[in-house]
Amino acid sequence: MATNGNPQIRVKSYFAKCVTDAMEVALRELGPDALLLDSRPSPPEARHLGPLEVIFGETSENSRGALPPPSVSTLEIDALCRKVDDIRSLLVRTTASTPYGGARARPVQQVLIDAGLTAALADEIDEAVYLQIRARTESGNPRHEIVQDVEPQLVLRTTLDNLNARIQIRPELGKITALVGPPGSGKTSALVKLAIREGLMKNRPVKLLSADTFRIAASEQLRIYAAILGVPYQVAESCSALAQAMDAAPAGCLLLIDTPGLSPALLEGPGADLAAFFRKRQDIDVQLVLTATTQSRDMEKATNRFAAFRPSASIFTRLDETDSLATLFCEVVRNKMPVSYLCDGQIIPEDLESATKERITEGLVLHLLSVLTPVSE
């Protein structure tokens, strides 16, 4: 019989080399209902177990009964969409792989799809590059002849220019900046890196605020960091307390706000109040933190969910855990949100850099010159 009480969550930590390894163990032990709550560097006393502590939650059997069952039709539609996307990509990849001397040779499209871009976006960029080169060379020849005649470096440069033109970069913070994002996206680590880079290293006073009162000992990690950095720290247990702390901050102080990792359920509950508060305060620069390893469909869903906070820019973490930034690029193009900073590791503060267009796009065309070489010979 389902209960009417609040769901109870049992929290358990796993120590591993990466989040993926921890997820495999958690799924075996906790089952499919395991919830990823957070990830952080292991404390010194547990570092021999693994460099990364990944925290999962498991709802109790009683609370599970109170949750509505998933919609079968929704799950089936989502699975069908994934299959359609896979089929579309396969068909376009096959078309793009036509021999280079043929009339349908489209090497730019092929390389971008191989890098991980969606078929539709790769096709759009390929067409734009072709039209730009044709206009630049004032050639009326068919596509395959233009591809054969043009220097590979011109195709590469035109492709990069087209990629760069589709994204916006804004590596800056507001006087009051709040980081929001899904559980385990690396908000706390990113916030500490920003505190050092944009605050202490620029001789600017910094204060850290935690609005994360949902998780067990959630604010303890940030309190320890604040003590190490020697900066003021405060926990705000309500929106009114958060407003008071913000208003009391000294002039010229960089105020950085850490927020809880909000799942879809929390976004509709307590998270909705926090989102409404941020929308009312025009002086808060909200930045969305996402992991570069997130699958494209999940990243799109996360971006759509956190639109309620009206983020002005995005920060991407875990660049060191992926070989391609294609998913990142596709999502930035889709939502037209500027990118501010990139985190490519857990070392504080070194593994943080101001975002640049080149850092995001150059890896997408690494193999373009080698693909074009047979054409130019």
The pLDDT tens digits of the residues spanning 278-327 come to 999 889 999 999 999 999 899 999 999 999 999 999 999 999 998 889 99
Q: What is the DSSP letter of 362?
A: G
Strands (E), the chain: 9-16, 35-41, 52-59, 176-180, 206-210, 233-235, 254-258, 284-291, 313-317, 339-342, 353-354
Name the average pLDDT for the chain: 80
Mean pLDDT of 65-80: 53
Are 108 and 58 members of one domain?
no
- Calculate mean pLDDT across residues 236-250: 87
Number of domains present in the structure of the chain: 3
Whether residue 296 lies inside any domain: the answer is yes
Cβ–Cβ under 8 Å, residues 155 and 370? no
In a domain? residue 341: yes
Mean pLDDT of 207-213: 86
- The answer as to whether 367 is a domain residue is yes
* Structural domain boundaries, residue 31: 9-66
**Are both 13 and 60 inside the same structural domain?**
yes
In the chain, % helix, strand, coil (3-state, to 5) comes to 50, 15, 30
Per-residue pLDDT band at 103 (split at 50, 70, 90): very low
What is the DSSP annotation of 171-198?
A: ----SEEEEE-STTS-HHHHHHHHIIII
Nearest alpha-carbon partner for 317 in 297, 350, 292, 294 = 292
What was the pLDDT predicted at 100? 35
Tens digit of pLDDT for each residue in 186-206?
Answer: 899 999 999 999 999 999 999
- Do 226 and 299 reside in the same domain of the chain? yes
Q: Residue 7: pLDDT above 80?
A: no
61 and 76 share one domain:
no
- pLDDT of the residue at 59: 62
Assess whether 140 and 200 both reside in one domain. no
How many whole angstroms separate alpha carbon 113 and alpha carbon 60?
43
Q: How far apart are alpha carbons 105 and 117 in whole angstroms?
A: 18
Domain shared by 19 and 139, yes or no = no
Last residue within a domain, chosen from 21, 47, 66:
66
Is 53 in contact with 11 (CB distance < 8 Å)? no
> Is residue 2 included in any domain, yes or no?
no
pLDDT of residue 377: 42
On whether both 18 and 32 belong to a single domain, the answer is yes
* Tokens found for residue 4: 């009417």
The conformation of residue 97, written as its DSSP 8-state character, comes to T
Check whether residue 162 and residue 19 sit in a common domain.
no
Q: Which CATH number does the domain housing residue 232 bear?
A: 3.40.50.300
The pLDDT assigned to 3 comes to 46
- Cα 326 from Cα 64, distance rounded (Å): 37
Domain-embedded: residue 28 = yes
Q: Which of 131-135, 140-144, 369-373 has the highest mean pLDDT?
A: 131-135
In the three-class reduction of DSSP (H, G, I as helix; E, B as strand; rest coil), residue 234 is classed as: strand
80, 22: one domain: no
Residues 6+ apart with CB under 8 A from 338: 168, 169, 170, 312, 313, 314
Rounded Cα distance, 369 and 134, in Å = 19
**Domain assignment of residue 143, yes or no:** yes
Does 246 fall in a domain?
Answer: yes
Residue 4 lies in a domain: no
Same domain, 331 and 202: yes
Q: Distance of CA 267 to CAs 77, 100, 184, 276, 300, Å? A: 23, 50, 15, 11, 16
Task: Tell me, yes or no, whether 191 and 148 share the same domain.
Answer: no
If asked whether residues 95 and 222 sit together in one domain, one would say no
